[in-house]
C-alpha cells in the first residue's frame, strides 16, 4: 500500500494515511524505524507488524489509563481511541481485552449510572443519556425496571425550590415551570398531578 500523507499531530507524533484508508498515529522514532514517508510504500507485513507490536499494546494501555479516572462504556472507549487515530483492528483488540477481564461492562455501567443519577433525573433523561453512551433500548428498559425513579419527588422538590404554590402561583409562571420540567424529561401528566397536590404535603 502507498502512504498518502504523514501529518504532524504534535511535537512527538504524526498521523499516517494510506491509499487503502488505513489511518494511524506513530511517534517520530517509530516512523523512522519503519521507513515511513509520504509517497513511500508500506507492505502488508510491515503494517501487521506495526499493529501487533505497537498499536495493539498502545491501545490497550490507553484504555486502561482512561479507566483510571472513571468507568466508561464500550462506545465511549471506541470513540476515545478513534479520536487518537487508532485503526479498528487495534480498537477491537483493546475492547476485547477489556471485556474479557470485565474492565468494561455496559450493563453494570448503566446500573451504576441509574443509581447515581436516578434521584435527580427523569426516566426519559436517563434513557436518552444512556443511549448516547451506547446502551440499547431493551437493555436500558431492563435496568430502569430494576430501579425506582422517584419522578414525583423530583418534581415536588423542583416546584418547592421555585416557590410554587398551588393556589397562588400565576398561570403564566405555572406554565413556565411546567415547560421547564418537561424539558427535563418529565411527562405532562405527572407534572400536572404533582402540581395539583397539597404543596405542603411532601412525599
Q: Which CATH number fits the domain that encloses residue 37?
A: 1.10.10
Q: Does residue 202 belong to any structural domain of this protein?
A: no
Q: Do 156 and 140 share a domain, yes or no?
A: no
Helices (H) and strands (E) in the chain, counts: 11, 3
- Does residue 9 sit in the same domain as residue 26? yes
The three three-digit cell numbers of residue 30, written as one number = 517509530
- Give the range of the structural domain holding residue 168, as residue numbers without chain letter: 151-195
Please report the DSSP string for 137-174 in residue order.
Answer: HHHHHHHHHHS---HHHHHHHHHHHTT--TTTS-HHHH
Q: What is the pLDDT of residue 203?
A: 45
Q: How many domains does the chain have?
A: 3
In a shared domain, residues 113 and 82: no
Do the Cβ atoms of 94 and 77 come closer than 8 Å? yes
Is 203 part of any domain? no
pLDDT in tens, the chain (203 residues): 999 999 999 999 999 999 999 999 999 999 999 999 999 999 999 999 999 999 999 999 999 999 999 999 999 999 999 999 999 999 999 999 999 999 999 999 999 999 999 999 999 999 999 999 999 999 999 999 998 899 999 999 999 999 999 888 999 999 999 999 999 999 999 999 999 986 565 54
pTM of structure = 0.84
Amino acid at each position: 500500500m502507498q502512504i498518502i500523507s504523514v501529518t504532524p499531530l504534535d511535537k512527538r507524533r504524526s498521523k499516517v494515511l494510506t491509499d487503502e484508508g488505513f489511518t494511524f498515529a506513530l511517534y517520530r522514532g517509530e516512523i523512522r524505524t519503519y521507513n515511513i514517508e509520504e509517497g513511500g510504500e508500506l507492505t502488508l507485513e510491515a503494517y501487521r507488524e506495526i499493529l501487533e507490536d505497537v498499536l495493539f499494546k498502545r491501545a490497550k494501555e490507553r484504555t486502561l489509563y482512561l479507566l483510571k479516572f472513571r468507568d466508561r462504556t464500550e462506545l465511549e472507549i471506541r470513540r476515545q481511541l478513534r479520536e487518537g487515530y487508532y485503526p479498528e483492528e487495534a480498537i477491537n483488540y483493546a475492547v476485547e481485552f477489556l471485556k474479557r477481564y470485565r474492565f468494561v461492562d455496559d450493563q453494570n455501567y448503566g446500573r451504576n449510572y441509574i443509581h447515581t443519577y436516578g434521584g435527580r433525573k427523569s426516566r426519559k433523561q436517563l434513557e436518552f443519556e444512556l443511549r448516547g453512551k451506547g446502551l440499547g433500548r431493551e437493555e436500558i428498559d431492563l435496568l430502569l425496571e430494576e430501579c425506582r425513579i422517584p419522578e414525583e419527588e423530583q418534581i415536588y422538590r423542583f416546584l418547592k425550590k421555585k416557590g410554587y404554590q398551588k393556589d397562588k402561583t400565576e398561570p403564566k409562571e405555572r406554565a413556565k415551570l411546567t415547560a421547564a420540567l418537561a424539558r427535563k424529561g418529565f411527562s405532562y401528566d405527572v407534572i400536572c398531578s404533582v402540581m395539583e397536590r397539597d404543596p405542603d404535603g411532601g412525599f
